[in-house]
A = this chain, B = another copy of it.
Amino acid sequence: MSSTRARSLVSKFPWASTPFIIGAPMRVMSGPNLALAISKSGGLGFIGPGAKPADIHTDLATLRGLVKDVSPSSLPASFVSPKSLLPVGIGFQLWDGDVDSAAQAVKEYRPCAAWLFAPRDGQADLDTWTNRLREASPDTQIWIQIGTLQEALDILQGKTRPDVIVVQGAEAGGHGRAHDGLGIITLFPEIADALGDNSGIDLVAAGGIADGRGVAAALALGADGVVLGTRFLASTEARISKGYQQEVVRATDGAKSTTRTMLYNQLRGTTGWPEGYSPRGILNRSWHDHQAGVGFEELKRLYAEATKKGDAGWGPEGRLATYAGASIGLIHSVKDAGEVVTELRTEASDIIRRNYSRL
């Protein structure tokens, strides 16, 4: 063990508490209400990319309105950052993103952090985006999501340095490394060692975490903060269909009932992801028919039919894309996001105290 990093990341977000809980920028589903609810309870919420790049402007405008509407007395005094950055982050999916539009949004709204992932041209794209966004808003932190040791080494060789690296393990739901992924129990320490203690980059952990145990484990690995996505799909503020959300709550056995596959992307017509990425999803009729040899055109026809069924399109016998992480078996109910954040902090803190008392 060589890396013993200083825990300073949380202090850069004056409203945030330890353990530092972060809501992932899930595409469409992490909207302004979810992101703000997470930040209001002492975490850091991220707004995900929208269905199209311009949606980010709408979401940020909504968010700014929500922040203004919050009664000051209901917030920690520090809630509005001293530098008047918005108290939420924003996520950009680079391969189909628009850096001009992104820079404009960041300049206009000044989110406290911008989370970059899935570049088409690796570190070169990350350098371009980092430079453009820093020009647009110098105080906005740059976070970069990676899933392999090589990406960490590329960052060290890059022309820019992010403020934070998000290490995403193979258990994650969101798009990540398709074939060369690995659980964070091993991936995180190896990346931390590669970066060393003097990189100036903080590290947060993502993937497969849905309760205080996972949060405490990530902190033990050395994470400066812990990212959850799937857990927030089952929050009242998530921008998600009820049928989809209920499936996240219902499903158990993450190893057996989820897998990494491009099938849902293909059925929805989501194409163009760079090589080497795939999302994780809950298995349903689309998958089982695919495994049984049903042809793609027929699957697509059935998928289109299922989209007309509303919430009934999801579920074990449903067919609709149900992206989710392997942690679904740890999620048993829909809660307010703020309650989730508070519980995560309490659970993780209790575990840390318990293990300390056992030394």
Contact = CB atoms under 8 A, between A and B. Distances in A.
A353 interface: yes
A255 B349 contact: no
B211 A1 contact: yes
Interface in A180-197: 180-190, 192-193
Indicate the member of A186, A192, A216 with the most B CB atoms within 10 Å. A186
B183 A149 contact: no
A349 to B, nearest CB: 5
A204 interface: no
Contact of A149 (B188, B252, B351, B355): B252
Interface string A203-246: 00001111111101111111000000000000000000000000
A181 to B, nearest CB: 6
Contact of A171 (B182, B207, B222, B359): B182
A63 interface: no
A352 B347 contact: no
Given A219-B220, A347-B1, A352-B359, A183 B171 contact: yes
A185 B209 contact: yes
Interface residues of A, number: 60
Interface in A307-359: 325-327, 329-330, 347-349, 351-356, 358-359
How many of these chains are in the complex? 2
Contact of A185 (B149, B207, B329): B207
Contacts of A209: 185-186
A160 interface: no
A68 interface: no
Contacts of A222: 213, 351
A171 B169 CA distance: 11
A250 interface: no
A170 interface: yes
Contacts of A214: 185-186, 189, 221
A148 interface: yes
A18 interface: yes
A322 to B, nearest CB: 17
Nearest to A343: B1
A159 interface: no
Interface of A: 1, 4, 7, 18, 148-150, 169-171, 177, 180-190, 192-193, 207-214, 216-222, 252-256, 325-327, 329-330, 347-349, 351-356, 358-359
Of all A-B residue pairs in the complex, the 6 with the closest CB atoms, nearest first, are A183-B183, A216-B220, A186-B208, A182-B255, A217-B217, A356-B356
Given A7-B358, A185-B218, A190-B253, 15 more contacts: A148-B256, A169-B185, A170-B170, A171-B185, A182-B183, A183-B184, A183-B208, A184-B185, A185-B208, A186-B327, A189-B211, A190-B330, A193-B329, A216-B221, A352-B352
